[in-house]
Amino acid sequence: MSISTTLSFDPLFSFNHCVNREREPSIHSSKPKLFSRTSSSTFTLFNSSNNNCSYNFASWKPHKFHTPKFEAFATNTDTLESLQSSDVLFDQTFPINRTELVEGKIFVRLDHGKDLGNWELTVGCNLTGKWILHWGVSHVDDVGSEWDQPPRDMIPPGSVPIKDYAIETPMLKSLSSAEVDALHEVKIDIKPNTDISAINFVLKDEETGAWYQHKGRDFKVPLVNYLKDDANIIGSKKGFSLWPGAFGQISNILLKSDATHDKVEDGNTGSRTTQVENSQLEGFYVELPITKEIVVNNSINVSIRKCPETAKNNLYLETDIPGDILLHWGVCRDDLRWWEIPPAPHPPETIAFKDRALRTKLQSRDNGVGSSLQLSLGEELSGFLFVLKLNDGTWINDMGDDFYIPLPRSSSLIIGKRDDQFEGVQREVTEVTEESGQEESASTFTDEIINEIRHLVTDISSEKNRKTKSKEAQESILQEIEKLAAEAYSIFRSSVPTFSEETIVESEAAVESKTVIFPELPPQISSGTGTGYEILCQGFNWESHKSGRWYVELKDKAAELASFGVTVIWLPPPTESVSPEGYMPKDLYNLNSRYGTIDQLKDVVKTFHEVGIKVLGDVVLNHRCAHYKNPNGIWNLFGGRLNWDDRAIVADDPHFQGRGNKSSGDNFHAAPNIDHSQEFVRKDLKEWLLWLRREIGYDGWRLDFVRGFWGGYVKDYLEASEPYFAVGEYWDSLSYTYGEMDHNQDAHRQRIVDWINATGGTAGAFDVTTKGILHSALEKCEYWRLSDQKGKPPGVLGWWPSRAVTFIENHDTGSTQGHWRFPSGKEMQGYAYTLTHPGTPSVFYDHLFSQYKTEISTLLSIRKRNKIHCRSTVKICKAERDVYAALIDEKVAMKIGPGQFEPPSGSQKWSSALEGRDYKIWEAS
């Protein structure tokens, strides 16, 4: 936070192709029934490469494994569709909306138009969708990569201008070719001898909001032959191939312009003058691959009949999902739904998984559509639990939870699908973090590790030891803490059933890259890391309040933000405030602010949830503006629901005559500093945070000015409100000597680490250290600063990466305040660093919706595609005067700076994924 009268500030895209992020808000509970029903629920897919999901349970329940009496056999179930007789005790159809990756091509052709004196550019795509060509032109004397609108006679009918720099033209469908069912195309007429040097374009699928580029950049079709060769140029080809669809066959000839080579002499006027020599167009035809995720509707049907001979329950499962399908299943005895592994006999092709569940391959149906299985289950069992694994590694479950099928008992034929106490709980998981509870069987081992960690934490945190221990010794202790945490985490992970063999025993540094599914575990939210794969976006700037309807405006961006891969959005302070920006709160329960009304706030939060994005509230806990003056004329008496008196204000605040205890941090001089040592204050604030969670639907917190109070109080607030994700703003000055930034910034990052440690690791913190070092490295071409004395990243992410929230700009540092603006023109170098490195990266709204949109979205796609997470490993390859280069998880190579770097050759092959001004990213093949 920051206002103009204070000295304290608030420091702190690859478009995802058709990612379906919508989820049901709750799990439906069903009463006992004797008749069949078709579920109206929508079910969620898990894919081992999709790590944007999270569990959200309220409490932890340990797993217990038993061995019930059990008998099973497999049979063909082609006749299940007709099972509607009176002996059907249960019948339920689960609709499944899954995605498939389809491949297609983008076609680009340049040749003579109907008038041989002119040319015609045709762009087409053979994938289904509502395609839009977003395009513009470059002129011969343009500098940089700016677009301009084309002349009117070039614009096809039906086009729409985008501001003053681009045109959007719908791509019309052509069905005239049996070879291509749906070719979408657009034609642009081009007159020779103009000063247009190139046509630039990208494709947009309006059905999904996805954008498609060429090697992470705009497509560029050159119209003059002296353009600098670039990776995104679609150049002339000697000869033509077959153009699919309506174009038919094209002879293998070279088309050249018959136009004369006009020479435009340099004029002495101020108008655009060009010198186009040898501007001889050559026709070409190219095909470029494109992939798109499409939604496919399938279903799973489960029926139960009572066998009259054995009195057992015959369960029939069938699905129309194609391909080989693995059933991961178990049974339970009671409503707690603890998974149990049954003894043999098992169906054919059944294997045990870690002694916790069974895996059986479904049998192909005789009619060739889908697969099925039949099981016989004993009366003593209460339920059947399962998930499905497809042959592409995708997991299918019930909105993130296991499918649960109630089994009829002699005393009760049908039991509900979900107890009322679980209603409204959404179950998805991509990571179990170190905060998660441990199994009883592992508690002895983990208790010892936890005690050892506490001793180490106490050792490194004490003031005396910080002064006497060397930085090397302190860093060694931190490394030991991380190792112990990883060991405890590994024990916990190996003690619970999961549905991916790869996730059982792995180090903390790599564990988040796998998908984990729990049969019936309430979630343990890791408020310091979320899933470990979070992408945070600050959803406002310093001017956003001025419209008075920011919530409404931001709501319209929700789907687009989700398509970029954003998983968490940070909203502005919601409370009534003396300052319009919200950082001088007054009545905490009044949520009608300059950003909008409380109803508009609820609506925007609901909208973000619908697209799968978690929402952070910006809460100001350090200070609060008073409603009334005391008899001395001092503003220190509060009104509203929290009508505190001056005991709620710290005693050493020099301006507000507080009668509380001394402050546990730094004072914020523009408003009364709250005394968090007061029990009534903490009680009221915890109730307020819980009210915000319940009433508004916030998933977590951005904590303002946490330098002002002890991190232990933050721990108390977070344990009470149980946020999905939390990050604190701990901003103070870096170390300088005679105006020059010191290379060693250990003292600065140590202060941030100490605060995180005081919270018990329940919150992350903005990595101000990394931002400051990036400033100096990029501005002065001193890239050697990006490696510390141990060869690690020099910021918080080098010491405690899982708690580092990296950023390059926010509403205080940039926007119209500009308190600490990132070096101009080098923003993409900053994002090339933060979006490829560990930690949780934060993207600023102003950058995401700017000229950097395409590059940022591509970086986000690279991060997601390679499963880079908050604990990914970094190997620094170069940190020299003019270049910094690193390998991340051995999957991504990156470099920033004007200097040269190529990834090391060897067993891995590297391909260029994105290149921009003084930065480049590679991916391992």
> Which sequence positions are flagged as catalytic?
704, 729
Structure tokens at 447: 């208790």
| Beta bridge pairs of residue 94 | 300
Q: Reduced to 3 states, what is the DSSP secondary structure of residue 516?
A: coil
Run of H or E residues at 453: helix 443-461
Does residue 156 contact residue 110 with C-beta atoms inside 8 Å? Answer: no
721: DSSP letter: H
Q: How far is residue 499 CA from its own chain's centroid? A: 22
What is the SS3 assignment for 100-120? EEEEEEEEEEEEECCCCCCEE
**What is the bridge-based pairing of β-strands 568-570 and 614-619?**
parallel
CA pair distance 878, 783, nearest whole angstrom = 9
Q: How far is residue 109 CA from its own chain's centroid? A: 37
CA pair distance 623, 620, nearest whole angstrom = 7
Does residue 74 contact residue 345 with C-beta atoms inside 8 Å? Answer: no
Q: Reduced to 3 states, what is the DSSP secondary structure of residue 5?
A: coil
CA pair distance 659, 649, nearest whole angstrom = 6
Q: How far is residue 774 CA from its own chain's centroid? A: 23
717: DSSP letter: H
| Beta bridge pairs of residue 519 | none
Inter-axis angle of helices 827-834 and 853-865, nearest 10: 10
CA pair distance 55, 426, nearest whole angstrom = 7
Indicate the Cα dihedral angle 108, 559, 831, 768, nearest 10°. Answer: 180
Place of tokens 């979070």: 534
533: DSSP letter: T
Q: Which of 753, 573, 505 is nearest to 516 (CA)?
A: 505
Does residue 644 contact residue 660 with C-beta atoms inside 8 Å? Answer: no
Q: How far is the first Cα of the chain from the last one, in angstroms, to the nearest whole number?
A: 44
Cis peptide before 151 (omega within 30 of 0): no
Classify residue 148 as exposed, middle or buried by CB count within 10 Å of its CB (0-12, 13-18, 19+).
middle
Region of 781 please: left (phi>0), alpha (psi -120 to 50) or beta: left
Does residue 393 contact residue 50 with C-beta atoms inside 8 Å? Answer: no
Q: How far is residue 882 CA from its own chain's centroid? A: 32
Exposed e or buried b for every residue in 800-832, given b needs 16+ CB within 10 A?
bbbbbbbbbbbbbbbbebebbebbeebbbbbbb
Place of tokens 């950023």: 807
CA pair distance 14, 564, nearest whole angstrom = 7
What are the counts of helices (DSSP H) followed by strands (DSSP E) for the chain? 14, 39
- Max CA separation in the chain (angstroms): 102
CA pair distance 645, 627, nearest whole angstrom = 10
Which amino acid appears at position 581 of this protein?
A: E
Q: Which stretches of 816-873 are assigned E, i.e. beta strand?
A: 840-844
Q: How far is residue 343 CA from its own chain's centroid? A: 41
CA pair distance 289, 200, nearest whole angstrom = 18
Region of 393 please: left (phi>0), alpha (psi -120 to 50) or beta: left
